[in-house]
A = this chain, B = another copy of it.
């Protein structure tokens, strides 16, 4: 449509008229567009007139009228496009999403689901990770809400006090605080309404340790 200089000039004229109410002189345009000679401006204006972007009132000085300016994309779309470009450059770590937890199936059993989620690198340093969607309120006092995405580091051991993915009786996976007491394993929820489960070590297997939480309010 327009050349860059033509466009720059058109926008300058339009702006100036809108701001000051009167048309800029050639000298002002020279400065604005970055041209050192009036003839250049003249040529640009002739082009703009020919392409019907502006109109000249004949035999008048400082008498230009802007007829149209090229339509723009909405700013937020441009912004989004920029963001997409940027996002495509910085890749982040991919970890598999293994489904929901609290549902009662061993993690391995649902590992075939081929979904992945991207997480910031600082949540997944060193080790093997996977993600689970939280279901239920049993850990609410630890700030873990229904629907949150739990980032889990694969591990088959845990320290007291850590929040772990525990597999009970080889059938039920659950996210709880791990506590070893004498000859029992305590799985402690973080919610007054839930009971501590006291299990024999042979009944419980650690499948991973909670490493991070991602929540989206959408």
Contact = CB atoms under 8 A, between A and B. Distances in A.
Interface range for A: 35 or more
Of A61, A83, A128, A148, most B-chain CB atoms within 10 Å: A83
Interface stretch (A31-39, A181-189, A208-216): A208-216
A160 to B, nearest CB: 15
Given A1-B63, A84-B88, A93-B86, A71 B18 contact: yes
A214 B212 contact: yes
Interface in A5-25: 6-7, 10-11, 15, 17-23
A73 interface: yes
A188 B18 CA distance: 45
Nearest to A11: B21
Given A118-B92, A212-B216, A6 B19 contact: no
Number of copies: 2
Contact of A121 (B3, B78, B118): B118
A122 interface: yes
A79 B19 CA distance: 11
Contacts of A6: 22
A2 interface: yes
Interface stretch (A99-107, A139-147, A165-173, A199-207): A139-147
A4 B19 contact: no
Interface of A: 1-4, 6-7, 10-11, 15, 17-23, 51, 57, 61-65, 69-73, 76, 78-80, 83-84, 86-94, 116-128, 140, 142-145, 148, 163, 209-218
